[in-house]
Amino acid sequence: MSESLSLDEPQLEPSGPQTSTAVLEREETVPQLQEPGDHERFSHYVRKEKILESALSGEPVTALCGKVWVPGRDPKKFPICPMCKEIADAAWGAPGEGEE
């Protein structure tokens, strides 16, 4: 019963149909309307007309910083998003700039 196999001899393949399976991996990308983290703790800059449209349609809005969400909270209860403020100041000038 004990047969010795030589490393020099080719191994016999089992006869019959052979199949193989390949697995293709792909990342599932699902757009998130609400991003976790600090974005939830700030008020963001969005055009007023976009906020009104969102209130009527329920469609999400996009802030200057890129956050996408459906507004529903009082923005006065949160500090201003530093990234939105930085972008707004760069685009329209910081409050008090140019005044003497």
For 60-86, how does the pLDDT look when each residue is reduced to its tens digit (9 = 90+)? 999 999 999 898 888 888 999 999 999
Q: What Å distances lie between residue 95 and 25, 78, 86, 90, CA to CA? A: 50, 19, 12, 11
d(CA 68, CA 49): 16
β-bridge partners, 69: 61
What is the average pLDDT across 30-41? 55
d(CA 12, CA 40): 64
Token pair, residue 68, equals: 């996408």
CB 64 within 8 A of CB 88: yes
Place 50 in a pLDDT band, splitting at 50, 70 and 90. Answer: very high
Which range in 32-41, 80-89, 91-100 is most confidently predicted, on average pLDDT?
80-89
What does the angle CA 71 – CA 55 – CA 92 come to, to the nearest 5 degrees?
60
Q: Which pTM does this prediction carry?
A: 0.53
d(CA 25, CA 61): 32
What is the average pLDDT across 31-36? 50
For residue 90, pLDDT beyond 60:
yes
